[in-house]
Every structure is written in structure tokens, then in C-alpha cells.
Amino acid sequence: MPKSEETNIQLSAYFDGEVSRQKRLKIRKHLENSDEAAFELMQITQVDHLLKQLSPIETRDQFLLELMQRVSETPSQEEPTLTLFPRDTERFQSCFVFSRDQLQLKFRSVTFGVAVFVFICVAFFFLQTHPIPKETNVPLVARSVGRFIQVDLVSMPITKKQSIISPIHIEEER
Amino acid sequence: MRTSDEELMMRCRSGDTAAFELIVMRFKDQIINYICRSVGDYHQAEDLAQETFIRIYKNADSYEPRSKFKNWLYLIATNLCRNEIRDRSRRKTDLLARKSTGAKESDSLDIFPDFRYMPDRLYEKKERELIIQQKINCLPENQRLCLILVTYQGMRYEEIAEIIGCSVSAVKSLIHRSRRNMKKLLMESGIGESHNAKI
């Protein structure tokens, strides 16, 4: 950001009384020495003056009546929405200043995303802790499924064994 | 002794409608002014203000007394304003697209109202006000909201940062840019020049 731009930002904050005491004194000094800065401040004042020419809007008398009528028709509590983890959602929501309405949709997708992520992590961890034996000549998916089935090849009769073990393994056995 | 807004809100939480009514009485003018300046339409502003208060009533349970009630109220109003501004710009884009494809011109009347034949608008002051409001509407969303909050609502930068959802330094920058843009826009429409001449 150029220095003049930064100075102008500070001047605008100075105009709104949003600078520290020390900075204010510094800006005052700068204003005494710089015509450019003084002109910028004058323009800020002019714009603010013009903006404040807008007369305040008066509220209709009926506004309150209409509103209270609408309020009497609405229940004080919002209907509960279906979420995977409603308690967590509420905890999350109370952490933030945003309104509940805005976040409901976001949290639903976030909860779903987190659930998918956790599932993937668990699956990955399981595969890491239970390595698939590489020597078998069976496709990866079949091997993963086979682990769950756990076929006992030793106690199995020879005829069934032959149907399960691939021809390569039979060759090796011979 | 004046009951604080937070105290009233706590009463409202326990189902006290009178407390809610008092809250509405306190803030209705400020909120309508804020929304009206932001969206540039009184009727729309009234609808949105009603929606703001209804949301306050509905979500009274989720209100935490540790945060300032006024900021919470303005945050809800700001979110509604943002939605409205975005919807409008979308409708405007749709309209321009339809216009280019040869749709009826009368469709645009609700978006671009013609004030030329309204007797009230003939007065110089009113006309000037109208131009200023139109120029405010030309500002980008965040610049507009920041400028309105600081100029018409007299809010501190810290409060604005909480409402808009950005840092104080970002608010400083947004306000500066909004003023610079407003100066440019007003000069273009001839308002700034005449005012300069007077000074």
C-alpha cells in the first residue's frame, strides 16, 4: 500500500475519532505541515456533511402493531432441524456470533464431511494395521474380503482346498 | 432506572412479550433507517426490519448475554441486507440479460423506479437526497454497510468489525475507500462541486 494511501486511511480514522492519543497528536502535527493532508481531511469532512444531509426516515405507526401481530402468530422456538449431530451443531453454533439460520445448512454439510473423513481415516488405519500378504496371487479387493472370511486351509479337505487355491499355488506345493 | 437491552433480552428469553415490545420500541427507528439506507427502499426496509425482530424473538434462546445485544441485532439486520443486496444484483443481471434478448421494458419498473413525475421529488432537497441515496447504492456491499454504520448509526470501528465480520484495520480501509468513492460519485453528479463552491 502506498504511503499516501495509508496516511489517508489514518486521516479518515482520525476524523471518526478512532485513533490513539499518540497517533492523534502525530496526525495534528502532520496536518499543520502538509497542505495535501489538510485538503484530504477537508474533503472527508465535506463528504460526511453531504451524507448527513439525508433526513432520518420516520417509521410508520402501524409497524409495531403489525410486528406484534406477526410475533403472536409465530412460536417462540424454532422447529428443530434434522442434523446428524444436533448437540455438536448447537455447541458449534454457540461458539460463533453468526445467526443460527445461516449456519444450519453449512453445519449439515460439515457434519457429513467430517463423518466421511472419519470413515476414510478408520479404513486407512485398519488397512495399515492389517497388511495384506503380498505373496498371494489374488486381486486386491478379493484379498481384503478374504481376510474377513478367514479360510482355514490346513483343516480343509484337499478337494475343497484345490478349488480355492489358484493353479500357481498348486504348482508351488508340488 | 433504564433497563439494559441485555436484561430485556433475558426477560424475552423467558417468554416475556412486553420486554420484546420494549426492545422493538427502542430499536425500530435505528434498524429501519439502517436497512433503508442499505437497500434504498422503505417498504423493503420495513419488511426486513420485521424479519430481523422476528428472528430475534425466535432465536432468543441462542442469545448469549456476554455479547452486546445491539451488535447481535445489527448482525442479523446486516445479514438480511446482504441477502437482499445480492438478490437485487442477481435480479438486475437477469434483467439486463433479458433486456439484451428483447424482453418487455415494463418488467424493469419495479427495479428502476422513475421518479420524474412524482411531485414530491421536485423539491431540490428531496432531489439531492435521492441522488445521495442512489450514489450510496452504487457502492460495493461492504463499503456501503460500513459507511452507513459509521455515518448514520454512529458506531465505533470495533463494533462495525464485529457486525461486518472483519478486522478493525479492514473496517478503516473500507470506510476510507467508501468515502473516496462517494466523493467521486457525488462530484460526477454535480453535488460535490456545488457544495465545494458554497464552502
- How far, in Å, CA of B58 to CA of B13, rounded? 9
Q: What is the 3-state secondary structure (H, E, C) of A3-65?
A: HHHHHHHHHHHHHCCCCCHHHHHHHHHHHHHCHHHHHHHHHHHHHHHHHCCCCCCCCCCHHHH
Tell me what pLDDT residue B130 has. Answer: 87
Under a CB-based contact definition with an 8 Å cutoff, are residues B27 and B73 in contact? yes
Higher confidence at residue A100 or residue B31? B31
- ipTM score of complex: 0.77
| C-alpha to C-alpha distance for B55 and A71, rounded to whole angstroms | 10
Q: What is the pLDDT along chain B (199 residues), one digit of tens a residue?
A: 778 888 898 888 888 889 999 999 999 999 999 999 999 888 999 999 999 999 999 888 888 877 789 999 999 999 999 999 888 877 776 655 555 554 444 443 344 455 555 555 556 788 888 899 999 999 999 999 999 999 999 999 999 999 999 999 999 999 999 999 999 999 988 876 654 444 3
What is the distance in angstroms between the Cα of A83 and the nearest Cα belonging to chain B?
A: 17
Please state, rounded to an integer, the average pLDDT across all residues of chain B.
83
* pLDDT for B197: 44
Is any Cβ of chain B less than 8 angstroms from the Cβ of A6?
no
C-alpha R_g of chain B: 19
Q: Which fold has domain B116-199?
A: Arc Repressor Mutant, subunit A (1.10.10)
- The rounded mean pLDDT for chain A is 75
**Distance from C-alpha of A31 to C-alpha of A108, rounded to nearest angstrom:** 54
Residues in chain B: 199
Is A51 in Cβ contact with B182 (below 8 Å)? Answer: yes
The closest CB to that of A18, out of B125, B157, B192, belongs to B157
Q: Indicate the burial class of A134 (C-beta count within 10 angstroms; 0-12, 13-18, 19 or more).
A: exposed
Nearest CA in chain A to B158: A18
The CA-CA-CA angle for residues A106, A110, A113, to 5°, reads: 145
Does A16 or A145 have the greater pLDDT score? Answer: A16
A9 or A110, higher pLDDT: A9
- A2 interfacial to chain B (CB closer than 8 Å): no
Among B149, B151, B136, residue whose Cα is nearest residue B184: B136
* Residue A95: closest C-alpha in chain B: B64
Per-residue model confidence (pLDDT) at position B106: 42
pLDDT number for residue A20: 93
Query: What confidence score (pLDDT) does residue A27 get?
Result: 94
Give the integer Cα–Cα distance in Å for B157 and B163: 10
**Are B1-105 and B116-199 in the same CATH fold?**
no
Q: Sign of dihedral through CA atoms B91, B97, B103, B108?
A: positive
Contact state of A47 with B24 under an 8 Å Cβ cutoff: no
CB A45 within 8 A of CB B124: no
Question: B10, B37, B57, B68: best mutation site toward chain A, by most A Cβ within 10 Å?
Answer: B57
Per domain, the residue ranges of chain B are 1-105, 116-199
* CB-based contact, A62 to chain B, within 8 Å: no
Q: Which three cell numbers stand for residue B63?
A: 442469545
| For residue A77, pLDDT beyond 70 | no
Between B28, B64, B136, which is nearest A64 by CB? B28
Task: Please give the residue that has the higher pLDDT: either A60 or A131.
Answer: A60
pLDDT of residue A22: 94
Does position A149 have pLDDT exceeding 90, yes or no?
no
Instruction: Using alpha carbons, list the distances in angstroms from residue B58 to A2, A74, B50, B163, B164.
Output: 48, 8, 12, 20, 22
**Distance (Å, rounded) from C-alpha B111 to C-alpha B115?**
12
Cα distance between residue B9 and residue B65, in whole Å: 8
Topology adopted by domain B1-105: Rna Polymerase Sigma Factor; Chain: A (1.10.1740)
Angle at A128 between CA A127 and CA A129, to 5 degrees: 95
Rounded Cα distance, B20 and B8, in Å: 7
